[in-house]
Structure 1
Amino acid sequence: MRKTALITGVTGQDGSYLAELLLAKGYQVHGLIRRSSSFNTERIDHIYQDPQTPERDLVLHHADLSDGVALTSLLHRIAPDEVYNLGAQSHVRVSFDAPLYTGDVTGMGALRLLEAVRASGIETRIYQASSSEMFGATPPPQNERTPFHPRSPYGCAKVFAYWTTVNYREAYGMHATNGILFNHESPRRGETFVTRKITRAVARIQAGLQQHLYLGNLDAVRDWGYAPEYVEAMWRMLQQDEPDDYVVATGQAHSVREFCQEAFAAVGMDWTDHVRYDPKYDRPSEVDALIGDASKAERKLGWKPAVTFRELTAIMVRADVGALTAQLAGSAVRVDR
């Protein structure tokens, strides 16, 4: 029988790649999108508007993680085999400016969804998108047994969501799993996240549209992987007979400085000619180093990352250079007309 899945945050980077993966596996995919006065579906338009994707294969619903009653009703109606909670306010720096909103959507939103599953009475498997930011100040390498020490409202909200998921698993026997994903990037990464901010700037500087890129802490160390590979790990988690918690990471450490170096080198430029430090981008409390140990995911899920740091950076730079080139060519055509 054909499986169905519900994805919250389907319009985000991970949601769009996960929708593609599940559709390719023959699922019917239901996605939650927030009501907005403007369209915000650009990451999934290529599949939602594709004539090869029947309307019944990808179904979008206007709903929100702040509305538990609507979530319960929707879950009862569609009774998905799998639920992937990817919806969140996921920008760490923004969480300092909007801590209450972040706590409500990222933390309480997970609780509302879990309670909606319980109240609806459906049998389903639940994936909770946890984050390496939960580890915060705890020294690397970090694995499933590493204590949490979050350093942002976002990290705190994710810790709440993590333990809520564990609690519902233990209290109600739910097949509820936490995926503790370290940083994962792609050309679909939001433009305000540091990796995408860098690769977009590389494209603009190469095109002569700007001269400098201003960043905060260049010494912050992260474990960067490729998003399409990470959504594969999410799916594998929910195929296990028993729910559990898994770290997903590459185990490789690179600084923001190194990302700049690789990104500018991809187009033959020296990053030091263009990158400038601006303290306004620093966080009130910094996370110095996040480096994951994903040996459990390799052992139990058979998952290993394949795309290297250098390959990831090149993929993102090529995509942004290509997008800008097409945009400028389109503008030129419009002017000529």
Structure 2
Amino acid sequence: MMFRAYIVYVIVYLLIGGNQCMNSANKQSATKQQATRQNSQGSLVRQNSQSNSQKQEQSKPVQQNAQASLPKPDPNAGQQNIPASSSKKESKADIFARKALDTMKEVDARFQIGSCITKAREKAGSLGYINGASHFAISWISMYSRYCPINLALLEDKDVNNFPFCLNKELRCMYHTGRNSQIQAVFQGAANIIDMSIRFEGTKQYKMVYRGMTFNPYAGQTAFVEEGFFSASISKDIALGFAKGKILMIVERMYGLYIADYAEDRFSRQKEVLGLKNSYFEVTDRITDSAEIDKLFPNLKHYLKKPTEVIYVYQKSNANVDGVLNIQHQQSLQYCEP
């Protein structure tokens, strides 16, 4: 009995121990397999990571090479073979300002009136126009309406040396082939800028303005063209002062710019309206009868003289300018002789 029981115990022990060993082996095998799988997965992750890293590293040079192969932007692209003046389109005002300044330099180089130009520009600045088109327009108009003496040695005519007077004479005598063409060219350039300046500032219609004269350059004509610049005063008394008892021109219609604010201070009292060059006028009436003239000035101030001739004129456009100019040129030959 005892022996049989012992045999059963041994068998049971072996069975239990074998199962535990198998379970332990199975657990160890499973652990190894899990570790292997984890190592395998980790290896795959590392491989994938390394592969992606390598791909990224390999792609970097390609991208860098691709960027290096792209041309750098050229700041001058699109501007080749284009003149400098057209790289930035100038406005009409900018073009005028540039021409006005260039012409100032030409006039000064020829006639040495730099101080006059400086004062004219200072006048424009005092009105708030420091630079730009309006600055130069007002400066040129101010040059015309101030005393700008020119060295007589630089002029062809020796009887007058004030810039605006010399300018108008050259314009009236531009047809005369015996005059100095270089001097004429400089004055013509200045006249063109003054004309542009008046247009830039703007003209308007004036009725009943007055011009006093000591002689009539258009005597005997029923129409005339002022080849220079025509001016008149809005004040009858001021015009009578310039007439000095001789000729008063009453302009019934005129187109021009009021320039008193731009003139030299001592001339601002003249209250001038400045017209464009080559303005055409027709004579509508002429009075020389003393009794008729007395009726026109019943309350004449004591310091003014009654004129001996009163001429009424009217500005018109689209007229037979050429025919009128032919007559004027024949009459002014002596006046225009150098």
Report the TM-score when normalising by structure 2. Answer: 0.29
Which protein is bigger by CA-based radius of gyration? 2
Larger relative contact order (C-alpha < 8 A, sep ≥ 6)?
A: 1
Report the TM-score when normalising by structure 1. Answer: 0.29
